[in-house]
Every structure is written in structure tokens, then in C-alpha cells.
Amino acid sequence: MPHLHNPLPPLQSDRLLDQLRERIRYLHYSIRTEQAYVYWVDAFVRFHGMRHPAEMAGPEVEGFLSWLANERNVAAATHKQALSALLFLYQKVLEQDLPWMAEIGRPKDRVRLPVVLTHDEVAHVLGKLADAHRLMGQLLYGTGMRIMEGVRLRVKDVDFARRAIVVREGKGAKDRVVMLPASLMPALRDQMAQARRLWSADRAAGRAGVHMPNALARKYPRAEASWTWFWVFPHEKLAVDPRTDIERRHHMLEQTFQRAFKKALVQARIVKPATPHTLRHSFATHLLQSGYDIRTVQELLGHADVSTTMIYTHVLKVGGGGVRSPLDALAGVDALGLARGGSYRAADDDADFPDHPPRVSMPVAQYLVPAPGLAACAA
């Protein structure tokens, strides 16, 4: 029995990249996916001397992907994204379903531990952020939101009464609820007061309202100009909507915060290769350190599979799985960092991090136990 596919409507555009955009929008892919797929299809065509993809097949696709892997040394995730873009082109735009599409090689994912900041490092970085960006950093660390979820936050999704934030259309177009830290409520109210002044100025000037997801602008024509749909972190300047060419108020750009975060890292003298997403990793790791169960952390992060969340349990583990190094045995130091005489480390040990306790293996999960707890264990 032949495999049946859902029929797609005929394309109205004549140019290849316009056809690609048309199909992506019909299938409700995000603007980020559209931009990425257009980039890779354009690169594929240029790599093969401007030949039309309909004239090419598996060997040309594999040649382009091999060039990316061998000459450009792209990461596996980038390799997979380029492959996904080309498969979408052939299957959804050119409407081909040929054997080579299933036989083409896929890159293997490498499991890498996420970068995690300690509590002190988080405090130092947030303290170095400029006033205009500190609240965003605190919100990402305090809720575990992704950076795009933070900058796209709307007024209606902040519930001060319930101390909750509704994250709309997160990764995988899923909604979830996260906590609203009580310590951020005054600053968040001030931020929303500043945003309301921009909203009032836009309304007084008769400007277009904010971008509305899907077809809500047609269903609720006045919603885009309402305060409830306005951004919590609006951009100071107006911008042209890339899909409608309408000049409107956009949210704060994620690149703006990324640059501010990178500058704060340098000022805090932190050498870890951290990014704003590191705040999300630190949020999850610190919750597990505090004793919250893995399922709770999974729901807060919005992971579909608990195995994704389990990566943070590996971050908590002692190097070598808690095995005592033979060098420590020669030095007369036990697993807790205690010398044979019972003293707790030398005065000059860990001079760079005097307030950080050593890691200690626990029966179920390995946590960073406060120093007084270690001393009690040693006694």
C-alpha cells in the first residue's frame, strides 16, 4: 500500500526562496526557522554554481554537507540544521520523496555537559550588569526561561497575584508556568510602568500595535494595540516587521542582552564560556542542589523528556564518579578534603575560591554540601 501524504496547496510564488518562505509560513514554522532554512538553501544553491535544486539530488546534497563538515568544520547541530533545511526543500517545496533522503548520513550528537555558574558567580555577573539589563538577567536565572522567552514576555502573562509567569509558545510551541520570584516583583512593576509610558506614546502617535501570533490580529483586531498584549521589555526604537513590512514596536533584541552579559562576565573576571543560556543551566542545577525532585525541574524547564533534564545530575557529580584519587591518598587527604590530623584543609588551599566547599559524594545525588555540614560529617 503506498504511503499517503497530506496534500499541500499549490505554490503561488515563482522564485525558489519565495516558495520556501511561502511553504514555511503555511506550515506555521517560526521566523527563526524561516531565516535559517532560507540561509542554508541559498548557500546550497551558491555552492553548486547557482544550479536549481530540482536539477540536483543526493550526491549534491552530500557534497555540500561534506564541505560543511570537512572544510568549514561546523558543529553537529549546524550540520543537522543544514540537512533539515535541504530535506524540507525537497520534500515540502519541490515535493520529492526519493530513497536517497532516507539513506543520507546524519551526524552523531555529542553529549556535552552544560556550563554552570556557582551561586557566587551568578551574583557577581548580575551585579555587573547595567541597570537596563539587570532585571532581564535576574528573570532568566530566577525562572529558568530561555532568552527569547524572556524578551517576548507580554504584560498579560505576568500574574502578580499568583506569583506566576506564563511562558507562551516556548520551544516546541509549548506553554508552561514558572514561578515569579518575590524579590523581583517591585523591579518588574517598575519595568512595566516604563513600558506603559512607551505604549501610551505609541497610542497617542497612532502607531501600529505589537506583533500578534498566528491569525489573532484578524480575530481580535484591537488586541495588538491593547496594553495587555504589549511587551514587558519593549525596544526603545520602532522596527519594520519582516513578514508584514509594517513599522511597529518590537521587543528588546536578544543580541542586546547577549552583549551586555558578555561584558558583565569580563568585568566579573569569570573565565567560564558562559552565555545568557548558562543562567538557565544554573537555575536547574541549583534547584537540584536544593533538593527539588527531577520531575519538578523538568516541568519548570519545559522539557518533553526527563532524560533531557537528567544532564544536570551529571553536572552535580564529583569528578570520577566520587572515586578517591590515589594522589589524595599519597598526600594524606581523605574524600572530604580533610588531612589525617583532622584539620579542614590548609589555610592557603583553594585561595581563589575561599567560600566554596569541596564536592562530596552523596548516596542518591552528589551535591555541594555547606562546609559546616562537612565538618559535622568528619566529626
Q: What is the set of active-site residues?
A: 146, 171, 277, 280, 303, 312
- The percent of the chain in helix, strand and coil, each rounded to the nearest 5, is 50, 10, 40
Q: Which three cell numbers stand for residue 242?
A: 519582516
Q: What angle do CA 164, 167, 168 make, to 5 degrees?
A: 135
Largest alpha-carbon pair distance within the chain?
82
CB 236 within 8 A of CB 201: no
With CA atoms as reference, report the closest residue to 247 among 237, 236, 234, 255: 237
Indicate the angle between helix axes 76-88 and 58-70, nearest 10 degrees.
160
What SS3 state is found at 176? Answer: strand
* Helices and strands, counts by H and E, the chain: 17, 5
Scan for cell 530561555, then name that residue: 146
Measured CA to CA, the distance from residue 117 to residue 266 in angstroms comes to 14
Name the pairing type of β-strands 247-251 and 234-240.
Answer: antiparallel
Strand partners, 239: 248
CB 145 within 8 A of CB 167: yes
Alpha helices in the chain (DSSP H): 16-26, 31-47, 58-70, 76-88, 100-103, 119-128, 131-143, 147-151, 185-205, 216-219, 254-268, 276-289, 294-301, 306-309, 311-316, 326-331, 371-378
CB proximity list for 139: less than 8 A, separation 6 or greater: 145, 150, 153, 181, 184, 188
With CA atoms as reference, report the closest residue to 313 among 285, 340, 339: 285
